[in-house]
Amino acid sequence: MGNVGITYKIYLEADADPKQIVEFIRSWADVRDWKVEELGFGIRVLKLLLITEDKGGTEEVDNKISSINGVSQLEVESVTLI
């Protein structure tokens, strides 16, 4: 098995600190790039690229990110073998 690059679109709650969320994810995954986009009406999205082991799906990582305080929902934008 190799590694995969996963691009996430993480919707943030109003009071969430994206830097803290990224630092928490960095404690267990290789975060390569991230940025915050303002969608309007106070809605912010954290776009994140991380590298992790290919375990046959993104479910484990999805669950870890979804359980973080300040994350309201997430979408997987892409998964690429590295």
For the chain, the domain total comes to 1
Mean pLDDT of 18-24: 97
CATH of the domain at 60: 3.30.70.60
CB contact at 8 A, 6 and 52: yes
Q: Residue 62 has what DSSP assignment? A: H
How many CA atoms lie within 13 Å of 80's alpha carbon, on the beta-carbon side? 9
Is the predicted pLDDT of residue 40 greater than 90, yes or no?
Answer: no
Confidence (pTM): 0.91
Range of the domain at 16: 3-81
Percentage of residues in the chain having pLDDT higher than 70: 99
What whole-number distance in Å separates Cα of residue 34 and Cα of residue 19? 10
The span from the CA of 63 to the CA of 82, in Å, is 22
